[in-house]
Amino acid sequence: MAVNTIEFAPPPANVAAIPHDYVARLRVEQYHEMIQAGILQSGDPIELLEGWLVYKMTKKPPHQVSTGLTRNTLNGTVPKGWYIDTQVAITLQDSEPEPDVAIIRGQLEDYLTHHPTAKDVALVIEISDATLQRDQTFKQRVYASAKIPQYWIVNLVEGQIEVLSEPSGVGEDAKYLQQKIFRGADSIPVIVDNKTVGSVIASHLFRR
Amino acid sequence: MAVNTIEFAPPPASVAAIPHDYVARLSVEQYHEMIQVGILQSGDPIELLEGWLVYKMTKKPPHETANGKLLDALVPLVPKGWILRIQAPITLSDSEPEPDAAVARGTRQDYEDHHPKARDLAFVVEVSDSTFLRDREVKQRIYARAGIPHYWIVNLIEAQVEIYSEPISEEGLAQYARHQVYQDTDLIPVVVDKQIVGTITAFDLLP
């Protein structure tokens, strides 16, 4: 069966063109119905963030390499009863982001009828080059608002890992209170379900 | 059959919260599919403007009165070969607005399987109170870009009828070159297909 990539209208030229005071956003249920009806397809470079359909960036080779390295490096630390996955959709209250890597409770088969929700997720990781600013601000807000305990940004631009924890606040005010930066041979603790289950070396998560 | 009004997430609290540089808008085709599969329903207070799902305002009594007067005034003037449509969608390249009135070419039967497009329309009318800014800016841009020959705003705030004509659409900018304002007993020419088919007064349209 041929798969057609669906074309969306491009982003607006400027923020003034957005009818922000009366624009309706989509709920997660509507987003799911659009996928079910084929108006959105699983190959589409789109995710739902705070009710907006937003474009995902095309992934360049270093992004793919870093995604694989991060998964492989973390794999040894993942405790029993949890698993690691890449580019997995996570259903939150008003968003359905697809983080590059995530540590998720249970096993793959637990999610045959629904995606993991915030309470099923110990750690989300975004590999950031072109999307760095979006990941540091907008995505931080989305993950913090959902109370996902740990959020790592593998910052390919500056060659460092940003570890965000202690989510606080909701909606536009949400953020992580703790932000630590790890570089080179720094050891990053891997925390799952409030317990440190191991550690990884910052430089093992990416090549530039 | 019960009709459920579908709930959308509310508008964002601030413009800063909009991911404007990478947000995807909907195409008219996607909007139609959402209606077809029931994600949107015909009773929903939503229209598609420049790819955005936007809320329509609840109509207050003066707005409904003006809609009624508009209907009464226009019905006798609509020439043969044209029809008057009230709060019905029109399909443009990136929008599907639902103007308060539209004069379209042909018969009702012609629009059994699609809404009128820009080229089918002589003019569209918006009755404006709380939506005045939207109607004067966003809707003017949309109707001008589509090349709809005349656009009327029945401006309830300033008690006047504004007629916009001579649509121009250049790179990124669309507007009507000509604006005329009619008040009280000023005579408004009703133009269909470049012919004046009659006149009405501003008084006839205002509550």
Tens digits of residue pLDDT in B77-129: 999 999 999 999 999 999 999 999 999 999 999 999 999 999 999 999 999 99
Residue A18 to residue B7, Cβ atoms within 8 A: no
Rounded to the nearest angstrom, the gap between the alpha carbon of residue B99 and the centroid of all alpha carbons in its chain is: 2
Alpha helix positions (H), A5-159: 28-36, 61-75, 132-134, 140-145
Q: Which residues pair with B46 in a beta bridge?
A: B55
Tens digits of residue pLDDT in A138-169: 999 999 999 999 999 999 999 999 999 999 99
Is B4-11+58-205 CATH 3.90.1570.10? Answer: yes
- A interface with B, Cβ–Cβ < 8 A, is 6-15, 17-27, 30, 33-34, 37-39, 46, 49-55, 94, 134, 138, 171-172
Examine the predicted complex and report whether its ipTM is higher than 0.95.
no
Helices (H) and strands (E) in chain B, counts: 5, 10
Give residue A13's pLDDT band: very low, low, confident or very high (50, 70, 90).
low
Q: Does B75 touch chain A (CB under 8 A)?
A: no
Tell me the Cα Rg of chain B: 17
Q: Does B108 touch chain A (CB under 8 A)?
A: no
- Mean pLDDT, residues B15-36 taken together: 86
Q: Give the closest of A27, A33, A55 to B7, CB-based.
A: A27
Substitution target from B4, B14, B21, B23 for chain A, most A beta carbons within 10 A? B23
Residue with tokens 């629904």: A114
**Distance (Å, whole) CA A145 – CA A25:** 17
Q: What is the pTM of this model?
A: 0.86
Residue A11 to residue B34, Cβ atoms within 8 A: no
Phi, psi (rounded to 5 degrees) for B137:
-100, -65
- Mean pLDDT, residues A189-194 taken together: 97
Substitution target from A7, A20, A33, A54 for chain B, most B beta carbons within 10 A? A20
Tens digits of residue pLDDT in A194-206: 999 999 999 999 9
Q: Give the closest of B9, B22, B134 to A19, CB-based.
A: B134
What pLDDT, on the 0 to 100 scale, is given for residue A2? 38
**Distance (Å, whole) CA A147 – CA A175:** 9
